[in-house]
């Protein structure tokens, strides 16, 4: 990997401001999913090293919470500026470990940094309230205080932005953080640690621990001194972490899986709608919790839509994310490809028709070719499961009541897309859809100002927006009596 600044590529954990080896000598390789080559190794820390990280964060907390909000702002903005100054290197590291195209990786650096700027500002607006007193001779109000050490467990599909969206909010609120990145994509997290150090963020405030995921998480969830847990990942692991956090009654925020419907109304131009659906489906090779998973098209334009969708889909270039012009990189590992192939076999065996999906053309064993199914029914895995791959299913519907029922037929409730210009139809769908986020006539929906999160089994809490910082703040009520 050629970097302008090779020191951004770190193969240690980062604990208490120190680059740390594994005391037990255990380590794990990290591979580039595009070619299977090992790009580096990470240490798997021992339990006592993980506990030492909590000790360090606990000590560092006192001084960090005592800073003024505008002082924390300066640290965060220095971190933000360094991210943008090293955008190209951060993108290179991300593409090497995650596989996404360099264009997507650069976009993620910008997106990730934008949360740091947002929360740097929001930290200055962690306002309390005063309220008219019902108690004689008293003044009543609230103060916002940092909740304490926050544990941040993040996935491999957005190795940088999922960290900054959480860490910036926690740091701005006055909380130290312990980041546990996915072992598939640790180097983006470690590059962020290097930049945090250069930004002058004090030792013990931004830590990155590495180890066996289940081992590290169960140890840290049991830690009394960790007060908040923010997790992005699968619903399966989210449930497990909720159970593990119950004993110490942590503040939890969960951004879990999605199974987004993409609804197209009868008034839409099928070509425009198909272009948008392709964009909503294939970003990060479909490994995106916001990826359109079930495409529901009004029966009157279904066939035209399918034709345009297929034509656009078949133009997508599949290859190494480092090559110019690549639209779709590899999936994260072979297991993910096998899961996608299982979903494809299931749809075929249950009578769906396939377009694309010519696996013989895949440029390597971790690649999955874009695949479209028509005639999809709710019995198929392509409908029920979050595909997390470039596999899409299209179903025709007759009217709004039917499409609302179909769209809500999932345990997930993260995001939904609606494409129509009919205001009455828009309002009905907006109110009827059981999803935390509904995007009308726009593929792009996320960013710092909006509350990101799901309902049902897609999660708890919201990240970003004016309430994102609340996940890391306690509200202390005071009654000043005897006045």
Q: Which residues bind ligand NAD (CB under 6 A)?
A: 153-158, 180-183, 213-214, 217, 232-234, 237, 240, 255-258, 289, 386, 388, 414, 459
Q: Minimum distance between the CB of residue 308 and ligand NAD, rounded to whole angstroms? A: 27
Nearer to ligand NAD, 113 or 256 (CB): 256
DSSP assigned state of 411: S
424 CB neighbour count, 10 Å cutoff: 9
DSSP string, 332-385: SSHHHHHHHHHHHHHHHHTT-EEEE--GGG-SSTT----EEEES--TTSHHHHS
**Which lies closer to ligand NAD via its Cβ, residue 156 or residue 472?**
156
Cα separation, 394 vs 301, in Å, equals 12
Q: Distance between alpha carbon 437 and the CA centroid of its chain, in Å? A: 14
Q: Are 434 and 458 in contact (CB under 8 A)?
A: no
Q: Is 472 left (phi over 0), alpha (psi -120 to 50) or beta?
A: alpha
Residue 151 CB, nearest distance to ligand NAD (Å)?
11
Nearer to ligand NAD, 109 or 199 (CB): 109
Min. distance of Cβ 183 from ligand NAD in angstroms?
6
- Minimal distance, residue 199 CB to ligand NAD, in Å: 24
**Interior/surface letters 384-418, b for 16+ CB within 10 angstroms, e for the rest:** bbbbbbbbbbbbbbeebeebbebbbebebbbbbbb
34 or 153: CB nearest ligand NAD? 153
Q: What's the Cα-to-Cα distance from 54 to each of 108, 125, 176, 222, rounded to whole Å? A: 29, 28, 10, 12
Residue whose beta carbon is closest to ligand NAD: 233
The least distance separating ligand NAD from the CB of residue 240, rounded to whole angstroms, comes to 6
What are the structure tokens assigned to 419, written together?
A: 């494409």
- In whole angstroms, the minimum distance from the beta carbon of 291 to ligand NAD comes to 8
256: CB partners within 8 A, 6+ apart: 231, 232, 233, 234, 235, 238, 289, 412, 414, 454, 457, 458, 459
SS3 438: strand
Q: Are strands 292-298 and 260-264 parallel, antiparallel or unpaired?
A: parallel
Catalytic-labelled residue, pool 122, 255, 385, 400: 255
Q: Describe the chain by its helix, strand, coil percentages, rounded to 5.
A: 40, 20, 35
- Helix/strand/coil for 131: strand
Nearer to ligand NAD, 146 or 459 (CB): 459
SS3 129: coil
- Between 114 and 374, whose beta carbon lies closer to ligand NAD? 114
In the complex with ligand NAD, which residue's Cβ is closer, 96 or 180? 180
State the DSSP code for 16. T
Question: Is residue 255 annotated as a catalytic residue, yes or no?
Answer: yes
Q: Least separation, in Å, of the C-beta of 235 and ligand NAD?
A: 6
* Contact assessment for residue 119 and residue 171, using Cβ atoms and an 8 Å cutoff: yes
Closer to ligand NAD at the Cβ: 285 or 420? 285
Task: Measure the CA–CA gap between 176 and 72, rounded to whole angstroms.
Answer: 12
Q: How far is the CB of 103 from ligand NAD (least distance, A)?
A: 19
As annotated, the active-site residues are: 255
């Amino acid at each position: 990997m050629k970097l302008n600044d090779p020191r951004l590529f770190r193969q240690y954990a980062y604990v208490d401001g120190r680059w740390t080896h594994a005391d037990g000598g255990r380590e794990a390789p990290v591979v580039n999913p595009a070619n299977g080559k090992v790009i580096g190794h990470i240490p798997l820390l021992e339990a006592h090293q993980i506990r030492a990280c909590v000790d360090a964060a606990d000590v560092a907390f006192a001084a960090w919470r005592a800073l003024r909000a505008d002082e924390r702002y300066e640290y965060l903005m220095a971190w933000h500026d360094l991210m943008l100054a090293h955008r190209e290197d951060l993108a290179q590291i991300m593409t090497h470990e995650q596989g996404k195209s360099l264009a997507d990786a650069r976009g993620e650096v910008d997106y990730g940094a934008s949360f740091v700027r947002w929360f740097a500002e929001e930290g200055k607006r962690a306002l309390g309230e005063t309220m008219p007193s019902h108690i004689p001779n008293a003044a009543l109000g609230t103060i916002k205080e940092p909740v304490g050490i926050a544990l941040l467990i993040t996935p491999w599909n957005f190795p940088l932005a999922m960290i900054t969206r959480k860490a910036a909010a926690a740091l701005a609120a006055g909380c130290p953080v312990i980041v546990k990145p996915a072992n598939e994509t640790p180097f983006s997290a470690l590059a962020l640690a290097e930049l945090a150090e250069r930004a002058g963020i004090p030792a013990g405030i931004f830590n990155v621990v590495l180890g066996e995921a289940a081992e590290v998480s169960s140890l840290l969830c049991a830690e009394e001194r960790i007060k908040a847990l923010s997790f992005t990942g699968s619903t399966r692991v989210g449930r497990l972490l909720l159970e593990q956090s119950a004993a110490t009654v942590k503040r939890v925020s969960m951004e879990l899986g999605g199974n987004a419907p993409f609804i197209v109304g009868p008034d839409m131009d099928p070509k425009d709608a198909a272009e948008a659906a392709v964009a909503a489906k294939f970003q990060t090779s479909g490994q995106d919790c916001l990826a359109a998973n079930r495409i529901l098209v009004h029966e009157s334009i279904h066939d035209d839509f399918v034709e345009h969708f297929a034509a656009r889909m078949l133009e997508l270039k599949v290859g190494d994310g480092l090559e110019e012009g690549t639209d779709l990189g590899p999936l994260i590992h072979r297991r993910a490809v096998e899961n996608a192939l299982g979903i494809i076999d299931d749809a075929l065996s249950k009578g769906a028709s396939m377009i694309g999906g010519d696996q013989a053309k895949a440029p390597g064993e971790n690649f999955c070719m874009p695949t479209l199914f028509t005639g999809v029914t709710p019995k198929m895995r392509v409908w029920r499961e979050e595909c997390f791959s470039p596999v899409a299913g299209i179903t025709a519907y007759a009217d709004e009541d039917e499409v609302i029922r179909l769209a809500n037929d999932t345990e997930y409730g993260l995001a939904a897309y609606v494409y129509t210009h009919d205001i009455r139809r828009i309002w009905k769908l907006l109110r009827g859809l059981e999803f935390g986020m509904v995007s009308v006539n726009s593929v792009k929906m996320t960013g710092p100002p909006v509350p990101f999160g799901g309902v049902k089994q897609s999660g708890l809490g919201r990240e970003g927006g004016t309430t994102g910082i609340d996940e890391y703040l306690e509200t202390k009520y005071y009654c000043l009596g005897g006045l």
